[in-house]
Amino acid sequence: MIEDLRRLLVEYYPLAGDDYLFSGRSDGHISEDSAARILREACQQVDIFGVSSHSFRRTALTQMSNAGIPLRVIQEISGHRNLEQLQRYLEVTDNQVLGAAASLAMLSPVTSNGVELDIDKKLEIEANSSR
């Protein structure tokens, strides 16, 4: 699928304007409304519904976050004014929340009687478990 997209873009590139890959009808880039309409129509042709340029943006930002890219970097890429705005875009799954909570158990091992171990004992347990 990626190769098909790459091929289509290579074929399209000679038709593109000098300054923009997707030129508008006037002397500039394609408008947001035109791009959204073209995307919607293309998705409908292949029976994909509920897609928008906005949903692609949300997905891309969430994938960057899931890949471990720092939020400040994602904020710069996305153009959000602050981290609070950006965080509204990012999707968090139940599995991510459960995984984060489970990782807390790794930070503070406790004995079977519920008493927290001292740091030397923790290091000894970690060393033995990695063997």
Query: What pLDDT digit, counting tens, does each position of 98-120 carry?
Result: 888 888 777 665 555 555 556 55
pLDDT in tens, 55-108: 888 999 999 998 989 999 999 999 999 999 998 889 888 888 888 888 877 766
User: Whole-prediction pTM value?
Assistant: 0.55
pLDDT: which is higher, 18 or 38: 38
Domain boundaries, the chain: 96-129
What are the respective helix, strand and coil percentages of the chain, to the nearest 5? Answer: 65, 5, 35
Give the DSSP H or E segment for 82. none
CA–CA separation, 63 and 66 (whole Å): 5
